[in-house]
């Protein structure tokens, strides 16, 4: 029996097929054009993704990364709500549908899925890609502009991934409010930059104001303990590089790390992680240094040493973004120590 193909692999093959027949140089030029456009003034009055070449370039170049970032955020969220599965999903500013593939990877069932975006070529390509995934075949792709007139049909899960940065301040509040009105759970993902984090925090505040509970990454729904301008909360997802990536970026690395910031919030009560690892753990001889965001609304460095037994083993396996401590690793003796 052959092993079932994962959504990530199906997506990779579908994306590779997109560039078939397109000379690599032309594909690389389309990506360069897109990068220049994205560096220009956003928000824009009209879609940046204007035609098939733009969206094919976006999908081939960026979609693997946004897919992995959204999947990492959703996996962390799913760990906090193990009994919950979204019965329906609306992806706002969904573009070519990266978040629909990520939802499918985290909760692999068929469900009503709607993707909203103002760029018709992105929707068309998203539809084409989704036709390769049996669980996404029936997804609906609708043209819709984020703004005061945006309405989102009632659903379990709304995702807004890599979109807030393209919107005016007003449109950002409008999309978050519309998501909060429509959904049981809202997941917002942005690039893991200081600006992306700031937009996530604004959205987080708005969701809490609307009565939502923060499920991930934060261990609480109180204010973020990070001092604005001093640091920013972000995480990292590993992305396999395609040959197009290697051509545009140069070098021969087989992967790159996509940095992202996110918030997952629910209308229903949740018990978030006791703390979360907010930096890459530092492994030293006989000890692991963990930077944690904690329930007590503070950041703390914890040093886990060999004498902590099982907890030390778990710390060596801990990854940036993980909940801490993992459920099965109660300390053997004493607690981990602050530094």
Ligand X SMILES: C[S@@+](CC[C@H](N)C(=O)[O-])C[C@H]1O[C@@H](n2cnc3c(N)ncnc32)[C@H](O)[C@@H]1O
Residues near ligand X, by CB under 6 A: 47, 49, 63, 66, 93-95, 98-99, 117-119, 122, 145-146, 161-163, 166-167, 171
Looking at the Cβ atoms of 20 and 45, the one nearer to ligand X is 45
- Beta carbon of residue 147, minimum distance to ligand X (angstroms, whole number): 6
- Beta carbon of residue 330, minimum distance to ligand X (angstroms, whole number): 38
Q: Rounded distance, CA 257 to CA 259, Å?
A: 6
- Beta carbon of residue 256, minimum distance to ligand X (angstroms, whole number): 16
Q: What angle do CA 172, 176, 49 make, to 5 degrees?
A: 55
Whether the upstream peptide bond of residue 325 has omega within 30° of 0, thus cis, is yes
Joined together, the tokens standing for residue 115 give: 């993707």
At 323, is the secondary structure helix, strand, or coil?
strand
- Beta carbon of residue 146, minimum distance to ligand X (angstroms, whole number): 4
Looking at the Cβ atoms of 117 and 156, the one nearer to ligand X is 117
Which residues, in sequence order, are bridge partners of residue 279?
A: none
Closest CA to 103 of 143, 147, 66: 66
Which residues, in sequence order, are bridge partners of residue 183?
A: 155
Contact criterion met (CB below 8 Å) for 258 and 162: no
- Beta carbon of residue 132, minimum distance to ligand X (angstroms, whole number): 17
Which run of H or of E encompasses 122?
helix 120-130
Closest CA to 203 of 217, 188, 223: 188
Joined together, the tokens standing for residue 224 give: 């973020």
Looking at the Cβ atoms of 49 and 203, the one nearer to ligand X is 49
Q: Rounded distance, CA 339 to CA 325, Å?
A: 17
Looking at the Cβ atoms of 68 and 322, the one nearer to ligand X is 68
Please write down the HEC assignment for all residues of 58-75.
HHHHHHHHHHHHHHHHHH
Q: Rounded distance, CA 191 to CA 205, Å?
A: 18
- Beta carbon of residue 49, minimum distance to ligand X (angstroms, whole number): 5
- Beta carbon of residue 125, minimum distance to ligand X (angstroms, whole number): 10
- Beta carbon of residue 314, minimum distance to ligand X (angstroms, whole number): 32
- Beta carbon of residue 294, minimum distance to ligand X (angstroms, whole number): 30
Q: How far is CA 64 from CA 240, 260, 310, in A?
A: 8, 13, 35
Looking at the Cβ atoms of 118 and 299, the one nearer to ligand X is 118
Joined together, the tokens standing for residue 306 give: 């060999």
Task: Select the residue whose beta carbon is closest to ligand X and give its number.
Answer: 95
Residue identified by tokens 């429509």 is 182
Looking at the Cβ atoms of 188 and 201, the one nearer to ligand X is 188
At 238, is the secondary structure helix, strand, or coil?
strand
Looking at the Cβ atoms of 101 and 324, the one nearer to ligand X is 101
Looking at the Cβ atoms of 93 and 325, the one nearer to ligand X is 93
DSSP 53: H
Whether the upstream peptide bond of residue 14 has omega within 30° of 0, thus cis, is no
Looking at the Cβ atoms of 145 and 316, the one nearer to ligand X is 145
């Amino acid at each position: 029996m052959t092993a079932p193909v994962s959504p990530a692999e199906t997506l990779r093959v579908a994306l590779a097929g997109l560039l078939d027949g397109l000379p690599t140089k032309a594909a690389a030029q389309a990506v360069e054009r897109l990068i220049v456009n994205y560096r220009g003034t956003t928000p824009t009055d009209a879609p940046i993704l204007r035609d098939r070449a733009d969206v094919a370039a976006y999908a081939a170049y960026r979609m693997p990364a946004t897919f992995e970032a959204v999947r990492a955020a959703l996996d962390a969220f799913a760990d906090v709500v193990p009994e919950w599965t979204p019965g329906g999903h609306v992806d706002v500013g969904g573009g070519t549908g990266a978040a629909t593939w990520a939802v499918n990877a985290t909760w692999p069932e068929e469900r009503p899925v709607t993707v909203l975006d103002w760029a018709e070529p992105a929707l068309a390509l998203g539809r084409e890609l989704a036709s390769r995934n049996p669980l996404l075949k029936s997804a609906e792709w609708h043209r819709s502009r984020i703004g005061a007139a945006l309405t989102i049909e009632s659903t379990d899960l709304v995702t807004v991934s890599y979109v807030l940065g393209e919107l005016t301040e007003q449109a950002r509040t409008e999309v978050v409010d519309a998501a909060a009105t429509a959904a049981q759970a809202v997941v917002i993902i942005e690039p893991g930059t200081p600006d992306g984090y700031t937009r996530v925090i604004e959205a987080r505040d708005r969701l809490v104001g609307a009565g939502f509970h923060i499920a991930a990454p934060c261990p609480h729904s109180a204010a973020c303990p990070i001092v604005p301008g001093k640091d920013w909360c972000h995480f990292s997802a590993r992305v396999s590089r395609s040959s197009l990536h290697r051509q545009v970026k140069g070098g021969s690395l087989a992967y790159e790390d996509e940095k992202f910031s996110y918030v997952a919030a629910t209308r229903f009560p949740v018990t978030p992680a006791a703390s979360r690892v907010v930096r890459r753990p530092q492994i030293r001889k006989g000890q692991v240094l963990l930077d944690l965001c904690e329930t007590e609304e503070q950041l703390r460095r914890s040093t886990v040493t060999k004498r902590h037994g099982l907890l030390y083993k778990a710390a060596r396996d801990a990854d940036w973004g993980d909940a801490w401590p993992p459920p099965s690793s109660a300390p053997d003796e004493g607690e981990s120590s602050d530094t």
